[in-house]
Structure 1
Amino acid sequence: MGDTIQVAVLAGDGVGPEVVPVAIDVATRALAAQGITLAPTTLPFGATAIASHGQAVPAETLEALEEIGLWVVGPHDSASYPPELRNPPPGATLRKQFGLYANLRPARAHGGVPAVAPDIDVLVVRENSEGLYADRNMTIGSGEFMPTPDVAMAVGVITRAASERIAVEAFDAARRRRGHVTIVHKANVLRLTTGLFRDVCRDVAQRYPDVRVDEQHVDAMAALLVRRPADFDVIVTENLFGDILSDLAGELSGSLGLAPSINTSATQGMAQAVHGAAPDIAGSGTANPVAMIGSVAMLLRWHGLRTGDERVEAAADAIDGAVAHVLADGVATGDLGGDATTADFGTAITEHLR
């Protein structure tokens, strides 16, 4: 168990340079209370990297990330990049280069924050390398093509190997939560692709007799998340379904500004909030840092579980507890009806940790 944790910091675009430093400050404080030093390395990424290196993800950034297992990554605004540099977007570059196959997206209501579903507390485990998102399926090309100007097609890919490894992630997570997994698919229509996904998840479930398992079609799942979210714990699904359901769950919990996320492989983890770059409020100091702070807490917990360092897990728990406490006290940014600035909220969290 080392006393220093290295982390790569890629601030990104829009509100990224505002919310990422707040999250790093919070993590630094929480780890220090456990006797651990956080050692951040800032790397070029996004629009600033285009200005300095001519690429959104320069080679030197990729080389550094190869050596550093933990990354804190802000949002990117690739729509504002020069047309020739928009594809692939920076997130896709990182995901493909390092095989970040698991996207974990929790959604939980907080005291002090109005929520459509005040009893929601779910974790969406999203397969992140294939599925019905065409850009994830090809070595060359996007996976979309047009045989004629009036016909557009996309390739969807489901494999047994990818389905199995994401199912394992989901069932392991359920053992740490409330012991319940819901398999989400559309096998009544997409019988071969999402049918394979469902069947592999069922097979994996046999290894976890202590975990309760059920399944839903994705359209029914969306309705049930709205109607009775407290019935669900861990939701495992393919890429496109997971993207949609996790955004829905985030809004039900109060705001996408509260929605954290990590993307992981077996060896590397990336904290990146669900929300986008929000260029319309960039520089105003009003961005909500909760999702980014929560993403960093998830990253620390993932690292603590992998390394067996309970101090790191304790730091993650302390961050989550501080966020819950500060929100319950009524400290909130404008998107949640408050008047706190990004910096104000970060200060409130670090003061609580102190």
Structure 2
Amino acid sequence: MYTVTLIPGDGIGPEIISVVVEIFEHMNAPISWDLVEAGEKVIEKYGTPLPDYVIDSIKKNKIALKGPITTPIGKGFRSVNVTLREKLNLYANLRPIKSLEGLITKYDNVDLVVVRENTEGLYKGIEYKIDDTACTVRVITKNASEKIAYFAFKYAKENKRKKVTAVHKANILKITDGLFLEATRKVAKEYSEIEYEEKIIDNMSMQLVLNPEKYDVIVAPNLYGDILSDLAAGLIGGLGLAPAANIGEDAAIFEAVHGSAPDIANKGIANPIAILNSSIMLLNYLKLNELAEKLQNAISATIKDIDSLTPDLGGKGNIESIKNKIISFLD
């Protein structure tokens, strides 16, 4: 039996997380949930959206499933997601992007993975203002760059991927992105069996839209990886399908890529597939591969039934119809 920290989150978070819990129970997954609350709902009581007991739970269990947590824009508290990644040194953000059969999108042949450095860059949040000028500090280190490069190449080798593409803007940011490229080039030499290439971020964005089938594993600094993974999610149908894992040496947090969507909370139309796909990554991380495959097959079958899908996927269904259809395919 595995104990997993469970963070429902804000907005639609509790709704979609409850779907995972019910489906896992139906599958008899050997998982016990350690429920902890974080986000806007705990600020009044604890004075922070991220009380210490959340960090303590994840450190103890070493694995968590997290619903989306609201991040204020331009004001308010610092992103809970960024804080978790820094405090737990979850240096690798892994975002698989794969076309789903039966879903009508502009592409049906996308199968790539974005590996994003998760702890530095502009997300350090080092900002200051002098009179009418605002500045931010972008931090890129050799150590973090090499770690994420090793993670990307190791992932490629273990998952029989053939190519790693490093994304940068070293033509302009010659020191910071130059250092990132030095690190990826060094690591690439140790994996001669894997093709290595480099793309400037603006060209990479265009190439993903024009020819996404040409890409396999993409490794990038924090901001580029964040933007590209959302862009890539759009190629397969949107953020409602895209899973993510934040992985470190001592812990891992699995989450959906999308936000808390407070405008549709408690309306029954939230799409749980992204968090379910994240839970599949969690199962594979725990080496519960048979259960992961079983759930993946049930989701794939459900995707082909348009009537069961939520409005964001072009369907007329709701969160209950998706959940019930998945469970029917599990039986």
Same fold (TM over 0.5): yes
Aligned residue number for residue 272 of structure 2: 289
Once residues 177 and 231 of structure 1 are traced to their aligned partners in structure 2, the CA distance between those partners, rounded to angstroms, is: 15
Once residues 112 and 295 of structure 1 are traced to their aligned partners in structure 2, the CA distance between those partners, rounded to angstroms, is: 20
Matches within 5 A, 1:1-354: 4-30=1-27, 32=28, 36-79=29-72, 86-131=76-121, 133=122, 135-136=123-124, 142-147=125-130, 149-175=131-157, 176-304=159-287, 312-330=288-306, 331-354=308-331
Q: Which amino acid aligns with 1:230?
A: E
Q: Which amino acid aligns with 2:138?
A: G
- Superposed CA offset, 1:239-287 (max 9, x none): 0000110010001111111111111111211111110000000000100
Q: Is the 8 A contact 1:26 1:293 kept in 2?
A: no
Question: What stretches of structure 1 of length at least 5 have no aligned partner?
Answer: 137-141, 305-311
Structure 1 residues 145 and 63 mapped into 2: Cα distance closer, same or farther (>3 Å)?
Answer: same
- Superposed CA offset, 1:40-74 (max 9, x none): 11112112222443431212222222201111111
Q: Secondary structure at the match of 1:261?
A: strand
Q: Once the 2 structures are TM-superposed, how far is the Cα of residue 338 of structure 1 from its aligned partner?
A: 0.6
Q: Which amino acid aligns with 2:91?
A: Y
- The worse-fitting range, judged by mean Cα deviation, of 341-350 and 254-263 is 341-350
Q: Secondary structure at the match of 2:226?
A: helix
Q: Secondary structure at the match of 2:286?
A: helix
- Superposed CA offset, 1:169-198 (max 9, x none): 111221204221111111111111111111
Q: Once the 2 structures are TM-superposed, how far is the Cα of residue 238 of structure 1 from its aligned partner?
A: 0.3
Q: Secondary structure at the match of 1:178?
A: coil
Once residues 57 and 225 of structure 1 are traced to their aligned partners in structure 2, the CA distance between those partners, rounded to angstroms, is: 36
Once residues 321 and 299 of structure 1 are traced to their aligned partners in structure 2, the CA distance between those partners, rounded to angstroms, is: 16
Once residues 163 and 21 of structure 2 are traced to their aligned partners in structure 1, the CA distance between those partners, rounded to angstroms, is: 32
Q: Secondary structure at the match of 1:216?
A: strand
Q: Once the 2 structures are TM-superposed, how far is the Cα of residue 205 of structure 1 from its aligned partner?
A: 1.1
Once residues 204 and 320 of structure 1 are traced to their aligned partners in structure 2, the CA distance between those partners, rounded to angstroms, is: 33
Q: Secondary structure at the match of 1:44?
A: coil
Q: Secondary structure at the match of 2:106?
A: coil
Q: Is the 8 A contact 1:117 1:226 kept in 2?
A: no
Q: Is the 8 A contact 1:8 1:43 kept in 2?
A: yes
Q: Which amino acid aligns with 2:209?
A: V
Q: Which amino acid aligns with 1:318?
A: K
Instruction: Judging by fraction of residues, say which structure has more strand.
Output: 2
Q: Once the 2 structures are TM-superposed, how far is the Cα of residue 108 of structure 1 from its aligned partner?
A: 1.3
- The worse-fitting range, judged by mean Cα deviation, of 272-281 and 41-50 is 41-50
Q: Once the 2 structures are TM-superposed, how far is the Cα of residue 11 of structure 1 from its aligned partner?
A: 0.3
- Superposed CA offset, 1:61-105 (max 9, x none): 22222201111111112339xx7xx32222222112111111111
- The worse-fitting range, judged by mean Cα deviation, of 14-23 and 174-183 is 174-183
Structure 1 residues 285 and 8 mapped into 2: Cα distance closer, same or farther (>3 Å)?
Answer: same
Identity %: 37
Q: Which amino acid aligns with 1:353?
A: L
Once residues 216 and 341 of structure 1 are traced to their aligned partners in structure 2, the CA distance between those partners, rounded to angstroms, is: 40
- Superposed CA offset, 1:139-174 (max 9, x none): xxx311122x22111111111110111111111221
